Amino acid sequence: MPKKDPYQALRFKEFNIFLMVRFALVLAWSMQFVVIEWQVYSLTKNPWSLGLIGLMEVIPAVGLALFAGHIVDQKEKRTLLIKCILAFLLISTGLFFITLPEYASLDSSLYVIYALVFCGGLVRAFISPTIFSLLALVVPRKVYTNAATWSSSTWQMASVLGPAIAGFAIYKIGVHWSMSLIVVFALIALIALLNIEKKPIHNPKIGEPIFKSLKEGVLFVKNEKVILGAITLDMIAVLFGGAVALLPVFAQDILEVGSKGFGFLRAAPAVGAFITMIISAYMPLNKNAGYKLLAAIFGFGVCIIVFGLSEVYWISILALFFSGVTDGISMVIRQTIMQLKTPDAMRGRVSSVESIFTGSSNELGAFESGLTAKLMGTVTAVVFGGCMTLITVVSTGIAFPKLRRLNLEEDDK
């Protein structure tokens, strides 16, 4: 059996452009979330306010997700993504102005921030299924696994740099000018995307009634037990393991490391995940993928518990780093499952169903973490979330035996 080329997806020009678009867009988005977290907590000194940021984004993202998936399957993907980036630019520009010193101190500024985050949730509902669908149009099926690995790695690289840049930018130039950097990166994503050609629409049911289309997408995920098990597992694990949302509290009040230490804390999980994904390009995770997925998320839960209990900065960094390592493994496997087992004509709808489960679980996790932190205390909330993750892994492994026995080597043809 010939050895697989770890760079096979990178040999396609448009895929490289796609990676540039995704990198710049995720970088801008992750920076924006961090900057807003810092600004809101600085204004309120209340962990509940951090939970509300997640809630404001997840309500529209989940509420519109299925309809967005239908539209994505009906429309040309590149043009739709251009419109999404333009909308994101408008939101980022609004946040840039509301963080001006003369406006940031106003009582109403907090409500404007929440409103703009809500609008961002509307845009996000379309971005996730559009990017997922576009990926399958810039590479052939035989390199889907490799492309999914590089795409996820790019996502993680941006997630590494985004929080780190945001943390250091807040420290050096303040919240307001940090927002200007976000606008610049969004513009870079837009310009790069213009270099990808328009793609055909692989959907024989153009004009299909919307509710019939939505039902078809939901039923497909329900009946494809491997997809259903994978995204359910990831959603609940991230929902209860959302310690990252409380990092401003740990950085300012528990570990007392300030904005500079906050940047390192935010970057640590993504560094671990990025390293894992680069290694997985050379050492594919397809063999015994189900067991590896379960083991990875179990390890993630353990890392979250260690982080919650730690009062030592370097132990906290290590715990977050290894939470990223385990999360990187689960992400590569889940994205490979999605790419290999989803028909082209249903990619938008299936990705939208997934986004309800996983794409918004970070924001729901932020809300859950903020709420439980208010009710239980910050440390107890994080440890509780990690324990719930462990329980989820065990119960999912029992409930979805097909997922547990999953081997993707046969599908990667």
What pLDDT is stored for residue 163 in this prediction? 75
In terms of Cα–Cα distance, which of 128, 125, 154, 161 is closest to 30?
A: 161
Residue pLDDT, tens place only, 200-219: 776 555 656 666 766 777 77
| Percent of the chain whose predicted confidence (pLDDT) is above 70 | 86
Work out the average pLDDT over 111-134.
Answer: 87
Distance (Å, whole) CA 18 – CA 302:
35
Distance (Å, whole) CA 309 – CA 298:
17
Distance (Å, whole) CA 45 – CA 26:
27
In terms of Cα–Cα distance, which of 76, 227, 66 is closest to 137?
A: 76
What pLDDT is stored for residue 116 in this prediction? 92
In terms of Cα–Cα distance, which of 175, 151, 236, 239 is closest to 159?
A: 151
Mean pLDDT of the chain: 80
Model pTM greater than 0.95?
no
What pLDDT is stored for residue 362 in this prediction? 62
Helix, strand, coil shares of the chain, percent, nearest 5, are 85, 0, 15
94-131 exposure pattern, b = at least 16 Cβ within 10 A, e = fewer: bbbebbeeeebeeeebbebbbebbbbbbbbbbbbbbbb
Domains annotated on the chain, with CATH: 9-197+209-404 (1.20.1250.20)
Distance (Å, whole) CA 69 – CA 108:
34
On the question of pLDDT at 85 being above 60, the answer is yes
**Residue that is written with structure tokens 């985050």 in the block:** 117
What pLDDT is stored for residue 195 in this prediction? 92
What pLDDT is stored for residue 53 in this prediction? 80
Distance (Å, whole) CA 242 – CA 366:
6
Query: Which string of DSSP letters, residue by residue, matches 99-165?
Result: TSHHHHTSTHHHHHHHHHHHHHHHHHHHHHHHHHHHHHHHS-GGGHHHHHHHHHHHHHHHHHHHHHH
What pLDDT is stored for residue 192 in this prediction? 94
Under 8 Å CB-to-CB from 339, ≥6 apart: which residues? Answer: 135, 136, 144, 145, 147, 148
Comparing 386 with 159, which gets the higher pLDDT? 386
Comparing 364 with 120, which gets the higher pLDDT? 120
In terms of Cα–Cα distance, which of 347, 348, 296, 352 is closest to 324?
A: 296
Distance (Å, whole) CA 329 – CA 322:
11
Among the ranges given (72-76, 109-113, 256-260), the one the predictor scored with the smallest mean pLDDT = 256-260
Residue pLDDT, tens place only, 279-328: 876 776 667 778 888 888 899 989 989 988 888 888 989 998 998 888 88
What pLDDT is stored for residue 270 in this prediction? 75
Neighbours of 257 (CB within 10 A): 17
**Residue that is written with structure tokens 């299909």 in the block:** 208
Confidence of residue 164 (pLDDT cuts 50, 70, 90): confident
Confidence of residue 358 (pLDDT cuts 50, 70, 90): low
Confidence of residue 193 (pLDDT cuts 50, 70, 90): very high
**Cα distances (angstroms) measured from residue 279 to each of 4, 21, 282, 322, 408:** 14, 23, 5, 15, 18
What pLDDT is stored for residue 23 in this prediction? 93
Distance (Å, whole) CA 28 – CA 180:
10
Comparing 357 with 44, which gets the higher pLDDT? 44
Residue pLDDT, tens place only, 1-56: 445 667 788 888 999 999 999 999 999 988 888 888 888 887 787 777 777 787 78
What pLDDT is stored for residue 366 in this prediction? 65
Confidence of residue 243 (pLDDT cuts 50, 70, 90): low
